[in-house]
Amino acid sequence: MSQRSCLSVILAAGEGTRMKSAMPKVLHAIAGLPMVAHVVKAAEAAGATGLALVIGHGADEMRKAVQKFAPKAETFVQEKRLGTAHAVLAAREAIAKGYDDILVMFGDTPLIDAAALAAARQKLAEGAAVAVIGFRPPNPTGYGRLIEKGGRLVAIREEKDCSEAEKKIGFCNAGMMAVAGNQALRLLDKVGNNNAKGEFYLTDIVELAGADGLDVVATEASFESALGINNRAELAEAEAIWQARQRREAMLAGVTLIAPETVYFSHDTEIGADTIVEPHVWFGPGVKIASGAKIHAFSHIEGATIASNCDVGPFARLRPGADLRQKAKVGNFCEVKQATIEEGAKVNHLTYIGDARVGAGANIGAGTITCNYDGFSKFFTDIGEGAFVGSNSALVAPVTIGKGGYIASGSVITESVPDDALAFGRARQKTLPRKGKELRERFASAAAAKKRAAE
Ligand code: UD1
Ligand code: MG
């Protein structure tokens, strides 16, 4: 089958009024990626070599977004929404290029899996002209019903056009189908709009192909993979299903999730085997974690790379550009942004490291802040290998702490510190013997005199 060329036509012209959103429905994200991008991913995984997106509502915004997640896709505008067959025909130019398989998909069905699409394409490879993806929803109301006879699909009847007997059929149209490229335009051009909604139904090609003596079949996908999103409650439902799939996949790949239902992945999260993720951890886009790391509870991580055997959190925030090398430690209430924490370095408590390098084996004391921003520009802090930064230090960038440099706690460091030097950036301590006791006595007698005067 791999030799067969395939065009995926993704319908996404709908308004999605029930989302109650200024943004086109299919751009709402699941795991940080627009739902239509999930559909594109599935199409590609099922071997689609061409992509045609049919857009309408919010066309400009859609084009911009498509540029990001599917730069090679062609977009076609369906000016008036006259039905799913009419929508597919908006991509006529692409279909006419002569692909072996046309895979019609919906932009609002983000959980569709590549296997279900590949199964439909396989039927075309075996000689079918149309292979419709069916599913069995718990409640079939609203879906087109698949009417089969002797293992063949004879018709798809929309709910509104169904007889009472047909309404009892549980096998429904998921909406997606594979159509032989050499039949697609001929069949689509024959579709009329003589039905309850007065729309040009894609589903009519089933009967039209049958009438021509062509082979039409149905395949079956899981209910979840055919879940269509119409409102934000369904969006959350799809998110939950996606997350559950991903957690399971991570665990089967060797990642320990102590409370999997509390860990949230992004569409591109990568975690190596033998990494342990404690409860309530959130991964934003762009996270890569190697093996044997520990991510402690309540950590918030995005755009970060974490090498093997690192220790992160609890309550750590790793922002984009955080790059933790082997055995680095970033502890509680620490934030790291655009900074490399080299091998074995420790940033253990209440610290901000931004636009910086922390050299291998360096130790950053509690409450250290890299002052990287003057309100206008960002500056770099370079902390050398094996340096020791005492607690509550402010490192005012741009500044360099040399290899093995030692910063006294409470310092405000505004000048670079050479290798192995000791730097104090604070007032020297003064200690006055017995002065504490004297002071206490003076205050006590003053308070007593005030009390007497008031009586
Ligand atoms: C469709 C199917 C139905 C199936 C159901 C599964 C048809 C005629 N019916 O019905 O059998 O059970 O999906 O969810 O195909 N779209 C356009 N332009 C149009 C019309 C639709 O781009 O002119 C897009 C929509 O944005 C959407 C998809 O096509 O992504 C499906 O359209 P929708 O109106 O939701 O079809 P259903 O009535 O749900
Ligand atoms: Mg629908």
From the list 383, 402, 314, 370, the residue with the least C-alpha distance to 342 is 383
**Following CA atoms 115, 116, 118, 122 in sequence, which dihedral angle do they give, to the nearest 10 degrees?**
130
CA of 332 to the centre of ligand 2 (A): 46
Q: Residue 177: name the closest of 146, 199, 198 by CA.
A: 146
Q: Is the CA virtual torsion 79, 84, 86, 92 positive or negative? A: positive
Question: 3-state DSSP call for residue 362?
Answer: coil
Query: Does the beta carbon of 59 sit less than 6 angstroms from any atom of ligand 1?
Result: no
pLDDT for res 15? 83
* Ligand 2 center from residue 129 Cα (angstroms): 24
Which ligand is closest in space to the CA of residue 156? 1
- The predicted model gives 423-452 an average pLDDT of 96
Task: Tell me, using a 6 A CB cutoff, whether residue 87 lines ligand 1.
Answer: yes
- What is the helix (H) or strand (E) element at residue 279, kind and residue range? none
Protein residue whose Cα sits closest to atom 13 of ligand 1 = 175
249 CA → ligand 2 middle, Å: 29
CATH code of the domain occupying 249-423: 2.160.10.10
Rounded Cα distance between 71 and 62, Å, is: 12
Mean predicted confidence (pLDDT) in 422-437: 96
> In degrees, to the nearest 5, what angle opens at C-alpha 432 toward C-alphas 430 and 438?
140
What are the pLDDT digits (tens) for 219-271? 999 999 999 999 999 999 999 999 999 999 999 999 999 999 999 999 999 99
Listed in sequence order, the residues at least 6 apart from 398 whose beta carbon sits closer than 8 Å to its beta carbon are 379, 380, 381
Residues with Cβ within 8 Å of residue 97, at least 6 apart in sequence: 7, 50
pLDDT grade, residue 151 (50/70/90)?
confident
- Ligand of minimum distance to the alpha carbon of 198: 1
Place of tokens 């076609």: 76
Q: Please list the active-site residues.
A: 349
- For residue 374, the SS3 value is coil
- Chain centroid offset of residue 348 CA: 29
Give 230 Cα–ligand 2 centroid separation in angstroms: 7
The residue whose CB lies within 8 Å of the most ligand 1 atoms, and thus the one to mutate among 40, 62, 84, 200, is: 84
Compute the mean pLDDT over every residue in the chain, rounded to the nearest whole number.
97
Q: Using the atom order of ligand 1, give the atom closest to the CA of residue 15.
A: 26
- 312-344: pLDDT as tens digits: 999 999 999 999 999 999 999 999 999 999 999
Res. 129: pLDDT tops 70: yes
- Locate the domains of the chain by residue range: 6-220, 249-423
0.85 exceeded by pTM: yes
Provide DSSP, 396-434. Answer: ESSEEE-TT-EE-TT-EE-S-B-TT-EE--SPPP---TT
pLDDT per residue as tens digits for the range 339-366: 999 999 999 999 999 999 999 999 999 9
Judge whether 169 and 140 are in contact, CB under 8 Å: yes
Distance (Å, whole) CA 89 – CA 95? 8
Q: Is the pLDDT of residue 74 over 60?
A: yes
Residue 2: the pLDDT is 61
* More confident of the two residues 3 and 66: 66
Neighbour count for residue 154 (Cβ, 10 Å) = 14
Query: How confident is the model over 416-427, as a mean pLDDT?
Result: 97
Q: Which ligand is nearest to the CA of 52?
A: 1
β-bridge mates for residue 347, sequence order? 330, 364
Atom of ligand 1 nearest to the CA of 25: 26
Query: Which CATH fold topology does 6-220 show?
Result: Spore Coat Polysaccharide Biosynthesis Protein SpsA; Chain A (3.90.550)
User: Stretch 176-197: mean pLDDT, rounded?
Assistant: 96
* pLDDT at position 383: 98
